[in-house]
Structure 1
Amino acid sequence: MVMSFNKLRKIEQNTVLLPELSLTVQQGDIIAVQCENEYIGRLFSVLNHPDHIKKEAVTLPEGGFQNVYLFQQTDGLYKRLSVKQMLLFWCKLYQHQADLEFVLNVCELQHCAAKKTKQLTLSEQQRLLFASALIQRAEVYIFEDPSLGLDLQSKHVLHNLLFHLADKGAAVVLFTPTLEEAIRLGSSVYRYSERGVQQLEQDIEDAENTAEEEPEEETTRMQVQLDKISAKIEDKIILFNPLEIDYIEARDGQTYLFVNNEEFASSNTIKSLEDRLQPLGFFRCHRSYLVNLQRVREIIIWSKNSYSLSLDNPSKSTIPLSKGNYSKLKELIHL
């Protein structure tokens, strides 16, 4: 273990500002945590005042917080300095003589080494800020929403940077409000909410191919045993707990899972998902929709033949309810 959060939380009077955070990061880990922006901000506010943290709430690496690097969106640059001058300033500040050519190459800043930082694009500025992580040596690197505002090139730089740090034996933790970014960047992915921290199961493409080569009966048995719903992002498979899903939509020949304001493509048909999820409280409210009834806040009656379901999720989604299924739903919930 390099660092751990041990039931770290923040409560003011009767308000929970920071739910219980329990998380352990090991050497070489890249842990991505998806959570709301407000929790990210409050967590970094706490980390910026380590003297206010209870000793038992955080287990630190040798050297304490001096051995922990914090990347924050509030970090700034000296506008009158060039990129190379900024790197030299950090070398002096952190008392480390880094290979500047290597740093420029990793962060893809070779072409603008002589540019003033005020002349850089926003993404170039972010890549320059990433460079400080290559100069400030630490055992643990904690990033605040590092993908915010990045162009595609800079996202690739960030991805390579995180893996470089992990390959060198550091522990990396990043907090992001976007589940897709957490899945893309993290070797292990967690969701942090008012219920605490929950790890999301995921696997890479090779595991999918291996599963497809197994006998069909064994695959079916494992699906029933795991009771997870799969979705795919690039070369990864994410496995959702069914109760995390707000609703499912069939659209243009594809099935989509809607979870926490994001949609994920699934290889399952909506009919097969209906068969699996009906015992867990999912209802086929429309030919193209399957809804988690635990998320339904109200039934909206637009007219005699037009109905909708309003969901209790962050985006307050509204999905259609067909006339025939309106009667079935009334019977199901004893209206």
Structure 2
Amino acid sequence: MVIAFNQLRRIEKNVILLPEFSLTVQKGDIITVQSENEYIGHFFELLNHPDYIPQNAITIQTGGFRNVHLFQQTDGLYKRLTVTQMLRFWCNLYKKEPDLENLLNLCELQSCAYKKVKHLTFSEQQRLLFAAALIHQTDVFIFEDPSLGLDLQSKHVLHNILIHLSNQGAAVLVFTPTLEEAIRLGNLVYRYSDRGIQQLEQDAEKVEEIVETEHEEEPTSMQVQLDKISAKIEDKIILFNPLEIDYIESCDGQTYLFVNHEEFASSSTIKYLEERLQPLGFFRCHRSYLVNLQRVREIIIWSKNSYSLSLDNSAKSTIPLSKGNYSKLKELIRL
């Protein structure tokens, strides 16, 4: 154990700002937690004021909070400094010998090493902030939605940096509001909601299929196969042409249809929809996702165990592709 959260919670004026949070992060772990932005904000607010944290609610193996690096969206940069000057500043701050060439390579900042921070793109500035984590060299790194607003190349950089920190023996904890990012970045994935924290079992697909099959009714000979997929909004039922649907997500026992960047709840299980839509070109790319292959623009390979699908829709959505289904997809599209 490097850091452990022991029934951490926050209640003010009888309002639960943070539900109970219990989690242990070991050396070399990359744990991602998908949660609402509100909970993530309250969590980091509490970490920034450790004096308000109840005794024994957080256990850190060595060094206390001095041994924890927090990466937050509010972190700033000195805009008049160059990238190299910023790196040297952090090296002096953390009393580390500068290895500028290695830092620039890891963060892919070689081309802008002598450019002033104010002239960097947003993604380049974020990659520069990632360098601060590499320089700090603590045992615990906690990230607040680090992939927010990043371009594709910077997401690759972030993924490689997390792996690098893990290989150095650090304990890495990442909070993100997006399930796709949580799956892509983490070795262990959790959901944190008003019901507390629950681990997503990455190998539980067969169990899920068995449970769903038990609850689905066997079709009778009198049933008619419809080519519309239904969703409900308040007291209305909407019928979608299947080819209108970009992808389908299963989350906390509820199924959602994503159509033109809008989200609609469906009463059908993802397993049932898979069986109906597979002949129409839909593919079960992940335990929680069913994608319309006509919307897939590219397959993104983050590492040998991490993949995503980029969609050609107005939102430019990316959704996870599991390792096992990557092989099935290659066979299906004859790669």
- TM-score under structure 2 length normalisation: 0.66
Q: Answer whether contact 2:250 2:270 (CA < 8 A) is retained.
A: no
Q: Please give the per-residue CA displacement for 1:29-72, whole angstroms capped at 9, x wherever unaligned.
A: 00000001011111101000111111210011201111110000
User: 2:61 corresponds to which residue?
Assistant: 61
Unaligned runs of 5+ in 1: 209-218, 230-245, 274-335
Task: Could you list the structure 1 runs, at least 4 aligned residues long, displaced by more than 4 angstroms after superposition.
Answer: 225-229, 246-250, 260-264, 266-269
Give 1:253 shift: 10
Q: Does 1:142 align with 2:134?
A: no
Q: Please give the per-residue CA displacement for 1:175-214, whole angstroms capped at 9, x wherever unaligned.
A: 00011110110111100001000001114xxx99xxxxxx
State the distance in 2 between where 1:188 and 1:154 align.
22
Count of residues in Structure 1 that have an aligned counterpart in Structure 2:
245
State the distance in 2 between where 1:228 and 1:58 align.
41
- TM-score under structure 1 length normalisation: 0.66
Q: Structure 1 vs Structure 2: percent identity of aligned residues?
A: 61
Q: Answer whether contact 1:61 1:139 (CA < 8 A) is retained.
A: no
Q: Answer whether contact 1:249 1:257 (CA < 8 A) is retained.
A: no
CA spacing shift, 1:182–1:268, aligned 2, 3 Å: same
State the distance in 2 between where 1:267 and 1:21 align.
29
Q: Which amino acid aligns with 1:140?
A: V
User: 2:19 corresponds to which residue?
Assistant: 19
Q: Answer whether contact 2:87 2:100 (CA < 8 A) is retained.
A: yes
State the distance in 1 between where 2:28 and 2:212 align.
28
Q: Which amino acid aligns with 1:104?
A: L
Q: Which amino acid aligns with 1:252?
A: L
Give 1:256 shift: 2.4
Unaligned runs of 5+ in 2: 216-231, 234-238, 259-268, 277-335
Q: Which amino acid aligns with 1:100?
A: L
Q: Does 1:224 align with 2:210?
A: yes
Q: Which amino acid aligns with 2:273?
A: I
CA spacing shift, 1:262–1:36, aligned 2, 3 Å: farther
TM alignment of 1:72-151, pairs within 5 A: 72-151=72-151
User: 2:166 corresponds to which residue?
Assistant: 166
User: 2:28 corresponds to which residue?
Assistant: 28
Q: SS of 2:202's equivalent?
A: strand
State the distance in 1 between where 2:109 and 2:54 align.
41
Bigger Rg over Cα: 1
Give 1:99 shift: 1.4
CA RMSD of aligned residues (A): 3.2
CA spacing shift, 1:164–1:271, aligned 2, 3 Å: closer
Q: Please give the per-residue CA displacement for 1:87-133, whole angstroms capped at 9, x wherever unaligned.
A: 00000000011311111001000000000000000000000000001
Q: Does 1:256 align with 2:248?
A: yes
Q: SS of 1:17's equivalent?
A: strand
